[in-house]
């Protein structure tokens, strides 16, 4: 695995790694996000291919996987990739 580290604040270090063992696998993820202009959150679902990139952030660490090549994404989502919390990612093992 290759890795790099970036610090955005003194206490906010993000470590990026690449994992060949998951790259290209189909995955689904669900979670929530703030709805702009409100005090509410909404469920969001994504499906697509794992890029192989992993991100670890914070202390205690939060771990994320990057998904791209979407087959499902929220309406109006314009980004090509998304970081999803690893515990909310379901990887197709078939």
pLDDT digits (tens, 9 = 90+) for 24-37: 999 999 877 777 88
Reported confidence tier of residue 1, pLDDT bands at 50, 70, 90: low
| DSSP annotation string for 36-59 | TTSS-EEEEEEEEEEEEEEEEETT
Going by C-alpha positions, the residue among 48, 27, 29 that lies closest to residue 92 is 27
pTM for the whole structure:
0.81
Query: Which residue range(s) make up the domain with 68?
Result: 3-91
Per the structure, how many domains does the chain have? Answer: 1
User: pLDDT at position 56, please?
Assistant: 95
pLDDT digits (tens, 9 = 90+) for 7-61: 455 567 899 999 999 999 999 998 777 778 899 888 899 999 999 999 999 888 9
């Amino acid at each position: 695995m290759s890795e790099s580290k970036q610090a955005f604040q003194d206490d906010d270090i993000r470590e990026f790694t690449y994992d060949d063992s998951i790259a290209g696998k189909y995955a689904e993820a669900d979670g929530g996000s703030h709805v702009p202009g409100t005090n509410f959150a909404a469920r969001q679902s994504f499906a697509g291919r794992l890029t192989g990139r992993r991100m670890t952030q914070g202390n205690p660490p939060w771990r994320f996987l990057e998904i791209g090549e979407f087959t499902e994404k929220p309406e109006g989502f314009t980004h090509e990739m998304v970081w999803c919390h690893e515990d909310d990612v379901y990887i197709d093992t078939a």
